[in-house]
Amino acid sequence: MMRAMNEDTATAPVIVSHIPMIMRRRIRWGDCDPAGIVYTPRFTHFCVEAMETWFGEITGTSWYRLGRDMGLGTPLVHSEIAYKHPLWPGDVLDVTILPERLSRATFGLKFEGRNGGGELCFTGHFVAAFIKKATMKATGIPADFRTRMEAYAQAVATLSAEKPS
């Protein structure tokens, strides 16, 4: 079953909200399996894509520069996705990025993927660890990154508290 394409929606992901951060993309035929629905591994890709954008916006650096300039990496140490509703070619997908945890060396994010009608299609929970690339061992989150991550979490919490239930 094909859904109508929304020509106003960019084909590449774009940020449509900063607090909480929401990434919007359009589902393409190449995202789908032969049955015409999004292929299961693509959901992980959508979350990692959103996580990478969130990281750059929050820390002011890219994962590439983190490794090249600082000798650090942020590999995933945990990921899980729960599938709720299929997505079809042409569907709009909004991925909301919510803070879940922040420890000495790790940060966790929750992802909520909704179609253009607002229906929840998937949730994801990912945890990444800061490591020194030379040793592949955990290291503390740089202080300026931690401060920015905490500020994002506080802004999301404040906005959530202000919304009527």
DSSP, residue by residue, 59-99? HSS-HHHHHHHH-EE--EEEEEEEE-S---TT-EEEEEEEE
Structural domain span for residue 132: 14-159
Task: Please write the tens of the pLDDT for every residue from 105-159.
Answer: 999 999 999 999 999 999 999 999 999 999 999 999 999 999 999 999 999 999 9
pTM value is 0.90
Task: Please write the tens of the pLDDT for every residue from 7-51.
Answer: 444 567 899 999 999 999 999 999 999 999 999 999 999 999 999
In a domain, 101, yes or no: yes
138 Cβ neighbours under 8 A, 6+ residues apart: 105, 106, 129, 130, 131
* Domains of the chain: total: 1
The three-state secondary structure class of 31 is: helix
The predicted structure's pLDDT at residue 165: 63
In a domain, 153, yes or no: yes
The predicted structure's pLDDT at residue 162: 87
Could you give the dihedral angle defined by the CA atoms of residues 149, 154, 157 and 162, in that order, rounded to the nearest 10 degrees? -140
- Residue 107's domain is classified under what CATH number? 3.10.129.10
The predicted structure's pLDDT at residue 2: 43
**How far is Cα 2 from Cα 63, in angstroms, rounded to an integer?**
36
**How far is Cα 41 from Cα 127, in angstroms, rounded to an integer?**
17
In a domain, 164, yes or no: no
